Amino acid sequence: MDLLSILNATWPPDEGEGSPVSQTRQEACNQVAGATLSPGGRALGVALTWALLGLAQPGLVRPDGLGPLGFLALVPWALVASRPGRRAKLVEWLVGALGLIGMFWWMRHLLPYLLPAMGLVPAIWLVVGGSALRRTARRYPLALAVPLAWTLAEMLRWILPPPLSFGWWRLGFLAHDSLWFSGSARVWGTWGLTWVFAAFSGYVADWIRAKGVPRPSSHVFGLAPLVLAVLLSALVKAPDTKPGPNLLIVTPGTEWGLKSSSQDHLHDFWIDPMTLTLEGLAVAEEPIDLVCWGESLGVGRVLLPGVLEGFDQGLRGPTWGGAPWGPDCDPTRVRRGMVLEDATAQILMGSAPMGSALLEPRVLAGFEQRRVPFLAALQNQERLLPEGTSLFSGMMALTVHDEEVRRINGAAIWGPDGQRRGLAGKVHLVPAAEDASIAAKIPFAVSIMNQVGGFVPDFVAAEEFGVLPFEGQSLGGMNTGGMNMDGREAVTYRAAVGVCYDNVFDDTFWRPQVGEDVDLFLIPSNESWYRDSVEFDHMIAFSRLAAIQSGRSIARITLSGTSCVMGPDGRMVDVLEEDGRTKQVRGCLVSRVPIPADPASRTPWARSAPWQPWILGLLIGFLVLLAGPPVTPVPPTVRTAEPASDHESGTS
């Protein structure tokens, strides 16, 4: 039976209790659910679901996507995956893998050879979802069975670490700009939104399968989550805010491939962004508290405590990494280079911009050769950034990890005095790009990654998300410092930092709020590998929901992606645009970031996020087990000729 026949299937009429031709709704449900389905019909239904999901995703039809399609996207999958049939698991795996590859098609710009694995591996968990649906569809209405099965599949696909899977897209992300019900994420997060979409899709599938007469419980399970989402969005408000720090977000429009091909790193990754920074400062109407540069724009490498001591004691980089500090390096030359890079980072990111150190003549000569427009200021030891302004930038660092010298992809803040205020590291590494621990065991894999990406994938994840302080001036309402001449107060803001891929994960936005106050989130990001693909729009969707869930503003600082500021309610505060475009643009964005009026305020989600997935997972597991064995195929009915009557047979 193909998909068309499923959609046109009729529901047996209810002719009253005890009628010989009537069936109860449960019996009819069992009969439809148990009817076998051909591989072609199954493939058509699953493919239609992935087509709807692809059409709904942000960036394809419109930047924010077609989120309402999420209410119908799972209907075909619900109708076909709820029924047994030949090669059911194989079909759902292959078609689901193709659907995932379509969602991840932006990866072709960087590591196209990863696309098959990005589809085939996580699609395994979609098969688990289909099996769970066939198990539960006989006992529960689809309005309950579908969210159980789909959320189970997404949780496995999301939570399991590489190489078993990896985190990226979830169904609930389609709700990011539908604030009339996505505000409920302040209570139950993205998983709750996924359930709302899936439950409504199951409800529609119940209506189709029942020909407009679904079981009464279907109305409850299908509509109650949506009604509750609307009520929670209206009743549980985002934290009250007040004007916070004034940011200057610098977006140089840099293609990241330049990092490996640049012939002049000093110009491309410091002089050019600094020139753009000074242009932005010149037109800013209010004092800037923090200048923000994107991921990895900081020149040099920061040495974290213990690196030099460990190197002197014989610690080196991994044998497979190919870094200059590897096992076969010249210790004297490499150590000198480490010290020089650390000093370069301090001078160019802190001392020189803040005018706290005079550059050496040979360094100034290099600037003179490049015809730097602010050369005179450097020669006179003048401040490049205004008094009271700090600098935030993505920054590479070296650390010691498991008796090896490894890199951290991080970000740091240099205060108005030119001193660094700590370093926040990236916690979630990009599989097979930054984290090569698995690829290192495969011959030639690391070499291929280095040739394609132009970098050595020897990164190590930070253990915790960093919260960096910086000084600023509030517009009033905070009594944490002295009063300035213009009536503003000197304050200290606390910014939690998530680097690029960290933006995808929930813990980026609740872990920093455990035990300490956070005013805002800074997300330095590098998406320029992916041209102007939908990857940019996915990141915006992730950030918007993160702002809603956490109740904190999020400032995105990109190299050539969409640089913007989102408020705690998920609304766009400011976005960098050029001729209506937000991708691959060059310029500066000035934004006064709203922060919580009460720094100690937390959304219900931020307080409960650590254990929400565990409770949901246990509930799903219990209900799936309670459903009993999966549906069994109903054998086709064989019609036989009835015996002829005596009259028809000619007997008397």
Domain chopping of the chain, boundaries: 3-236+622-626, 241-602
Burial degree of 312 (CB within 10 A; 0-12, 13-18, 19+)? exposed
Q: Residue 528 pLDDT > 90, yes or no?
A: no
CA 169, CA 166: separation in Å to the nearest integer? 10
Query: Are 181 and 233 a contacting pair, CB within 8 Å?
Result: yes
How much is the pLDDT for 77?
A: 98
Which range is least confidently modeled, 14-18, 154-158, 416-420, 465-469?
14-18
How much is the pLDDT for 33?
A: 55
Model confidence pLDDT, tens digit, residues 251-280: 998 876 655 567 788 888 899 999 999 999
CA 164, CA 107: separation in Å to the nearest integer? 18
Q: Residue 318 pLDDT > 60, yes or no?
A: yes
How much is the pLDDT for 267?
A: 87
Q: Residue 187 pLDDT > 70, yes or no?
A: yes
Q: Residue 13 pLDDT > 70, yes or no?
A: no
Model confidence pLDDT, tens digit, residues 602-634: 999 999 999 999 999 999 999 999 998 765 665
Alpha-carbon separation of residue 189 from 184, 454, 550 (angstroms) = 7, 37, 9
Q: Which residue has the higher pLDDT, 440 or 599?
A: 599
Q: Residue 4 pLDDT > 50, yes or no?
A: no
Sign, CA dihedral 530-534-540-546, equals negative
CA 455, CA 259: separation in Å to the nearest integer? 9
Q: What is the mean pLDDT of residues 125-149?
A: 96
Model confidence pLDDT, tens digit, residues 56-83: 999 999 999 999 999 999 999 999 999 9
What does pTM read for this prediction? 0.88
How much is the pLDDT for 451?
A: 57
Q: Can you name the CATH fold of 241-602?
A: Nitrilase/N-carbamoyl-D-aminoacid amidohydrolase (3.60.110)
DSSP letter, residue 459: B
DSSP letter, residue 270: I
Model confidence pLDDT, tens digit, residues 430-447: 887 777 666 555 555 666
Q: Residue 323 pLDDT > 70, yes or no?
A: yes
How much is the pLDDT for 266?
A: 87
Query: Are 500 and 426 a contacting pair, CB within 8 Å?
Result: yes
Question: pLDDT band for position 18 (50/70/90)?
Answer: very low
Q: Residue 480 pLDDT > 50, yes or no?
A: no
User: In whole numbers, what is the pLDDT of the chain averaged over residues?
Assistant: 87
Mention every residue, 6+ apart, whose C-beta is less than 8 A from residue 599.
Answer: 494, 517, 518, 519
Q: Which residue has the higher pLDDT, 359 or 17?
A: 359
Burial degree of 349 (CB within 10 A; 0-12, 13-18, 19+)? buried
Question: pLDDT band for position 163 (50/70/90)?
Answer: confident
Q: Residue 487 pLDDT > 90, yes or no?
A: no
